[in-house]
């Protein structure tokens, strides 16, 4: 037995081992490169409730702190998406008298800034002090703690019940599910909803997006496993909707049992998941094998380009870059550096593999021959912005779902 399920205490069956890895967003200053924290990044599925999850976990205080490098407002696509999210809540769930919304993991205020501008009562719960401070500067009300049942009780006492609790790319980070869902139960009004959108196991399996696996992603949800998780905690999954984020996420809506009618979209997704045999051991074992193939192909390609004297850099330093470079053993011998638009990442090193992260002008100032697209979920935005690179003869390298050099015509059409 590889471990114990955090939802139901069933046995975990391990299916992929990505080796020794640091915390994915733990971008280091060059003087911090010694004494880095490592753990074994491996994923298993629960034989009883089907939830896919990390075998080992990193304490949350090591993941989220005042030096948290991920700023959600870092891309135009993210900003537009979360503003649309906020507008939808304002038009649907937040129309009653003096409505109240809580966001778990509000980060730099990418979503709540729009709610704050509309003058609607809100609270962001965000333990990473640096990003919380950015949100506060945008007029967002923030509580600087981890969300759990105690935080929920304190919020209820101070602000009253909540019409909407929202989370994006945060709920799958929270290992203490029991405390989380008891907190939701404490906070929600009788007709309130808990809405969260998270990376999808179906995308990881379908597109072989194995670099979505890292320390922060404790759970790899499906509608099927979320329905079971909700049921075990006295809540009901009433909707699941595909969202074009991070290569294909799902937005789940939980409500009190019987309070909302389950949607046809949820039923369709549950059927689709059963047909795909998504969380079946055979499907997951296959994922483990193909990930090894991607590693072999990527290292082979980079080694060949190096031998041919080509310059190769990386584009984007999302958390994913940590998983890929550490799993594949890619260091500065194969990739000179990566560029990223996030100021807080620049001048730092990618955790574990220690590739330098530079500002985008290191790329545009002297185009390399090839650029590995680590921020592949923003491919269209990036390739469109970097047409001059392709025009100068530069080529993009992608590695999910397979390792390939993007044809010039495809990059130009982006
Ligand atoms: N919602 C944003 C940010 C996601 S990053 C987006 O979708 O882009 C995840 C955020 O969750 C981080 O800012 C982290 O500090 C925060 N977080 C992690 N655990 C949390 C917890 N238990 N309660 C509240 N926030 C948490
Ligand atoms: P994310 O997909 O997890 O949001 O991470 C994307 C990373 O890529 C983030 O660090 C910002 C970076 N990025 C760029 O450097 N240039 C770009 O044009 C875009 C869209 C993102
Ligand atoms: Zn389980």
Confidence band, pLDDT 50/70/90 cuts, at residue 251? very high
Could you list which residues have their CB under 5 Å from ion ligand 3?
Answer: 5, 7-8, 10, 46, 48-49, 51
CA angle 109, 361, 400 (to 5 degrees): 70
Tens-digit pLDDT profile for residues 152-164:
999 999 999 999 9
pLDDT of residue 248: 94
Measured in Å, residue 228 CA sits from the centre of ligand 3 at 9
Ligand 3 midpoint to CA 311 (Å): 47
pLDDT of 253 strictly over 80: yes
pLDDT at 33: 85
Q: Angle 264-276/223-232 helices, nearest 10 degrees?
A: 110
Report the 10 Å Cβ neighbour count for 241: 16
Residue 360, pLDDT above cutoff 90: yes
Atom of ligand 2 lying closest to residue 377 CA: 2
Look at the block and give the residue holding tokens 């799993």. Answer: 327
Q: How confident is the model at residue 74 (pLDDT cuts 50, 70, 90)?
A: confident
User: What is the reported pLDDT for 25?
Assistant: 94
pLDDT for 271: 98
Helix 177-187 and helix 149-159, axial crossing angle in degrees, nearest 10: 10
* CB neighbour list of residue 255: distance below 8 Å, 6 or more residues apart: 191, 192, 193, 194, 235, 236, 238
Question: How many H helices and E strands in the chain?
Answer: 15, 18
Give, for 3, the enclosing helix (H) or strand (E). strand 3-4
Label residue 69 by pLDDT band (50, 70, 90).
confident
Ligand 2 centroid to Cα of residue 302, in Å, is 22
């Amino acid at each position: 037995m590889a471990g114990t399920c955090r939802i139901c205490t069933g046995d975990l069956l391990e299916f992929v081992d990505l080796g020794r890895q640091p915390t994915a967003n733990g971008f280091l200053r060059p003087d911090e490169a010694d004494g880095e924290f490592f753990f074994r990044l491996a994923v298993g599925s629960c034989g009883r409730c089907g939830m896919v999850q990390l075998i080992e976990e990193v304490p949350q205080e090591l993941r989220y702190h005042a030096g948290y490098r991920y700023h959600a407002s870092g891309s135009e696509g993210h900003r537009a998406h979360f503003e649309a999210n906020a507008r939808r809540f304002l038009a649907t769930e937040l129309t009653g008298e003096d409505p109240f919304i809580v966001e778990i993991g509000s980060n730099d205020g990418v979503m709540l800034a729009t709610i704050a501008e509309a003058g609607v009562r809100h609270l962001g719960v965000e333990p990473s002090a640096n990003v919380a401070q950015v949100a506060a500067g945008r007029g967002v009300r923030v509580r600087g703690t981890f969300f759990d049942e105690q935080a929920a009780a304190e919020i209820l006492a101070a602000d009253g019940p909540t019409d909407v609790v929202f989370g994006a790319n945060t709920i799958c980070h929270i290992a203490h599910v029991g405390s989380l869902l008891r907190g939701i139960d404490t906070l929600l009004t009788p007709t309130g909803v808990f809405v969260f959108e998270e990376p999808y196991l179906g995308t990881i399996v379908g597109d072989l997006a194995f670099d979505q696996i890292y320390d922060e992603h404790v759970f790899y949800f499906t509608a099927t496993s979320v329905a079971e998780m909700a049921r075990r905690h006295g809540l009901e999954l009433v909707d699941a909707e595909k969202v074009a984020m991070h290569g294909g996420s799902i937005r789940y809506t939980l409500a009190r049992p019987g309070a909302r009618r389950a949607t046809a979209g949820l039923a369709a997704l549950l059927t689709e998941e059963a047909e795909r045999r998504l969380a079946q051991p055979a499907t997951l074992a296959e994922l483990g094998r193909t990930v090894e193939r991607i590693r072999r192909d990527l290292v082979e390609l980079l080694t060949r380009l190096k031998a041919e004297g080509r310059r190769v850099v990386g584009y984007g330093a999302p958390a994913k870059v940590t998983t890929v470079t550490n799993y594949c053993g890619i260091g500065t011998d194969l990739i000179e550096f990566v560029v990223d638009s996030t100021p807080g990442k620049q001048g730092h090193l990618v955790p574990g593999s220690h590739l330098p992260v530079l500002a985008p002008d290191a790329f545009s100032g002297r185009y390399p021959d090839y650029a590995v697209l680590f921020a592949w979920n923003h491919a269209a935005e990036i390739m469109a912005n970097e047409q001059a690179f392709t025009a100068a003869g530069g080529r993009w390298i992608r590695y999910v779902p397979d390792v390939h050099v993007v044809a010039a015509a495809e990059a130009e059409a982006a």
